[in-house]
Amino acid sequence: MKEKKRKTKERGKEEERREEWRVEERKERRKVKEKKREEEEKGRKKRKEGRKRKRKRKKRKKRKEGRGRMGRRKERKKKENKWK
């Protein structure tokens, strides 16, 4: 009888330990997921910024050029005159 009680007690303790371990594992996984999500968000933000900058640069360049090839030639001529 005492042997049986001891075994059930041990089994109960083992179950508790397993449950604690599961809880810890869940917490750990949640932390990792959260970190991953934050990294992804940072990357997304940086890409968005990059696209924004690229678009602005393109617009600035087009404004500078004027329209068509003549605009570019004009720009080049201006630069050449500055160096002379």
Q: Is the pTM of this model over 0.75?
A: no
> In whole angstroms, what is the distance from residue 65 CA to residue 77 CA?
12
pLDDT of 3 strictly over 80: no
Report the percentage of the chain scoring pLDDT > 70.
75
pLDDT of 79 strictly over 70: no
pLDDT of 68 strictly over 80: no
Burial 36-65, CB ≥16 within 10 A → b, else e = eeeeeeeeeeeeeeeeeeeeeeeeeeeeee
pLDDT of 23 strictly over 90: yes
